[in-house]
Chain A
Amino acid sequence: SQTIHQWPATLVQPVGSPLSLECTVEGTSNPNLYWYRQAAGRGLQLLFYSVGIGQISSEVPQNLSASRPQDRQFILSSKKLLLSDSGFYLCAWSVYWTGPKGTEAFFGQGTRLTVV
């Protein structure tokens, strides 16, 4: 069965410090991978998605970057955190069904990032 691991679960970082959040997926190959952010009043915002190693698409201009060094590894980074980067970050992978679901996304447990 497939599992998705995301760490750390919580993180408190000072403004201007770097960030690295890691996500790995087990039990599937060549998954589509995503980073979402849940910020207060803004729902689930898609930040980045990747359809393969080294292939990253950015959905919104921001202070963050993403990398996919291996097939099942997705990393979210920042060189200098801003206060506005605080939020709940979720990694996900997806599978496309030909049935009634279309795309189904499976999420990690999330990382609560607080920038102080």
Chain B
Amino acid sequence: DQQVKQNSPSLSVQEGRISILNCDYTNSMFDYFLWYKKYPAEGPTFLISISSIKDKNEDGRFTVFLNKSAKHLSLHIVPSQPGDSAVYFCAASEGNFGNEKLTFGTGTRLTIIP
């Protein structure tokens, strides 16, 4: 049972345009959502997060939007740069100290076309 889903395995975007990566979840107990970026043969690194009490969080070129009623979140990258080419994972946790597992989605491979 995949509790966090990323339905687009890949996405190609022209450099300078906006990249939009989507994520859906089924567990209504999730309170925190994170995006991780992963380059080949490396571990994922944290990118940006949002808690369920917010609907938007912005950090430079990266913005995460959360629609809790739809159980959907998205990551916007604008403007997209070649260095953004990587696999992006959406992750979620229930946010309770002592129940701290992160559940990851299947990932979306983003390719920025110069």
Please report A residues at the B interface, Cβ cutoff 8 Å. 6, 9, 32, 34, 36, 38, 41-46, 49, 51, 88, 90, 92, 94, 96, 100-110, 112
* Interfacial residues, chain B to chain A (CB-CB below 8 A): 6, 9, 31-32, 34, 36, 41-46, 49-51, 54, 57, 89, 91, 93, 95, 97-98, 100-107
Name which residue of chain A comes closest to B93, CB basis.
A103
Cα of A98 to Cα of B111 in the assembled complex, Å: 34
Q: Are A96 and B100 in contact (CB under 8 A)?
A: yes
Q: A44-B104, A100-B50 are in contact. List 7 more A-B contacts (CB 8 A).
A: A36-B104, A41-B106, A43-B105, A51-B98, A96-B97, A102-B95, A103-B32
B41, B50, B101 — which one has the most chain A CB atoms within 10 A of its CB?
B101
Contacting pair B100 A94 (CB below 8 A): yes
Q: Which of B31, B103, B106 contacts A46 (CB 8 A)?
A: B103
A-B contact count (CB 8 A): 82
- Which residue of A43, A88, A100 contacts B57 across the interface (Cβ within 8 Å)? A100
Closest to B42 in A: A109
In the complex, what residues of B have CB within 8 A of residue A36's CB? 104
Is there an interface contact between B6 and A103, defined as CB atoms closer than 8 Å?
Answer: no
CB-defined contacts of A104 to chain B, threshold 8 Å: 34, 46, 49
Tell me whether A103 and B54 are in contact (CB under 8 A): no
CB-based closest 3 A-B pairs? A102-B32, A107-B43, A43-B106
Q: How far is the CA of A108 from the CA of B44 in the complex (A)?
A: 8
